[in-house]
Amino acid sequence: MEQYICNSCGKKHDITPTIWICTCGGVLNVVKDIPKIDVASWNHYPNSLWRYLETMPFQKESKTWEQVTMGEGQTPLIVPDPLESNTYVKVDYMMPTLSFKDRGAAVLITKAKEIGISKVIADSSGNAGTAIAAYAARCNIACDIYLSDETSPKKIAQVKAHGANIKQIHGTREDIAAAAQHAVKEEEVFYASHVYNPYFYEGTKTYAYEIYEELNGAPDTLIIPVGNGTLLLGAYYGFKELFANGLIEKMPKIIAIQAANCAPLVDAFNNGELSAEPVKNKGTLAEGIAIAAPARSPQILEAVRNTNGEFIDIEEDEILSARAKLSEKGFYVEVTSAVNYAGYLKYKKEPEEKIIVPLCGAGIKSK
Ligand SMILES: *Cc1c(COP(=O)(O)O)cnc(C)c1O
Ligand SMILES: [Zn+2]
């Protein structure tokens, strides 16, 4: 039986259908050892993120994923500008629901199916809700998604198409999470949260494994947008596992990007703090990373510090110009995702520095 361990107090908990937070309020991680990576096993699986199944906390014989997968993962790594041949974009909008959230959702919902869950609740600024709704639909799991009434209409339409019940809340992103958590408690159901459920990060860690295979090693630098840090932490854990297995010689440096109008982690990082104080969201075009109080802030700050990384914040006028520049090169991303490229343009790179920029969500998702 797999267990969770609290990130704050270290208490262990059996994994039950309703547990999602420690009694002390701390976030939970899966109890596990660093996996022993058997590279030869990867070719036993179809071309998807399930190549790395044996590094995830599932029974090796587990076949549940076969009924869940929609081919997510193995996204292309492309040089967008031949004049900058060491800069790559990883095109994670080429996913079943058009964002990287499918990495986490596919793995999380596979776990939920394994433990016999019939209903899930999640809250989201859009893309995580879409991904959870799609994979839940695929597994005949009922699904309620809590969203802001200001979420992009196209993301709401996507969630609706998968048959999820949409609960539109008027309030901040934190109000929406609180409403979902209240319902989880009242209804005693599974909280399919991309922030709290640690299986989500077992999915996002495959971002690192794929880059390792595509480059035949590690890059120097990862540019990563951060709201709740689900891609950042997944990438960090993935490269840590590769490093611990001796497959790469150094950890890539993580350059974390936030919108200046909602940047709790930038402040905390620059002030040398171990966790982030909630800020007031002043409003940003980057709806997908407008998180004023990220629940895993200590882990995010630690990851960036451990890799000798840094934070960069992006002004509103830099977002749309970065989106236009990417479009001119052929890549059409949603507005939130342009922040990543804006961060890259602002970052002072070394000659020859090998850098990866994720393209997290497809252009047709936003205005
Ligand atoms: C979710 C998302 C992000 C940020 O991910 P976090 O887990 O909140 O850090 C960035 N870009 C897009 C397009 C997203 O959907
Ligand atoms: Zn605890």
Same domain, 258 and 357: yes
* Atom of ligand 1 lying closest to residue 291 CA: 8
Same domain, 219 and 167: no
Which of 164, 191, 218 terminates a domain? The answer is: 191
Same domain, 160 and 299: no
60 within domain boundaries? no
Which of 169, 191, 213 terminates a domain? The answer is: 191
Residue 115, both tokens: 């433990």
Cβ(235) – ligand 1 distance below 6 Å: no
Same domain, 296 and 351: yes
Query: DSSP letter at 230?
Result: H
Same domain, 241 and 300: yes
pLDDT per residue, tens digit, the chain (367 aa), is 689 999 999 999 999 999 999 999 999 999 999 999 999 999 999 999 999 999 999 988 899 999 999 999 999 999 999 999 999 999 999 999 999 999 999 999 999 999 999 999 999 989 999 999 999 999 999 999 999 999 989 999 999 999 999 999 999 999 999 999 999 999 999 999 999 999 999 999 999 999 999 999 999 999 999 999 999 999 999 999 999 999 999 999 999 999 999 999 999 999 999 999 999 999 999 999 999 999 999 999 999 999 999 999 999 999 999 999 999 999 999 999 999 999 999 999 999 999 999 999 999 999 8
What's the total number of domains in the chain?
3
* Atom of ligand 1 lying closest to residue 361 CA: 13
Same domain, 121 and 136: yes
Same domain, 337 and 261: yes
Residue 318 C-alpha to ligand 2 middle, in angstroms?
40
204 within domain boundaries? yes
49 within domain boundaries? no
Same domain, 186 and 308: no
Of 289, 296, 335, 367, which is best to mutate to test ligand 1, by the most ligand atoms within 8 angstroms of its C-beta? 289
DSSP state string for 82-124: TTSTTEEEE-TT-STTSBTHHHHHHHHHHHHHHTT--EEEEE-
276 within domain boundaries? yes
Of 124, 231, 236, 340, which is best to mutate to test ligand 1, by the most ligand atoms within 8 angstroms of its C-beta? 231
Same domain, 19 and 159: no
Instruction: Look up residue 246 and give its amino acid.
Output: G
Same domain, 186 and 225: no
The Cα-based distances of 8 to 192, 295, 302 in angstroms read: 21, 12, 14
Cβ atoms of residues 149 and 161 within 8 Å: no
* Atom of ligand 1 lying closest to residue 194 CA: 7
Of 90, 99, 265, which is best to mutate to test ligand 1, by the most ligand atoms within 8 angstroms of its C-beta? 99
Same domain, 4 and 118: no
Q: Which ligand is nearest to the CA of 4?
A: 2
Structural domain span for residue 24: 1-31
Q: pTM of this prediction?
A: 0.97
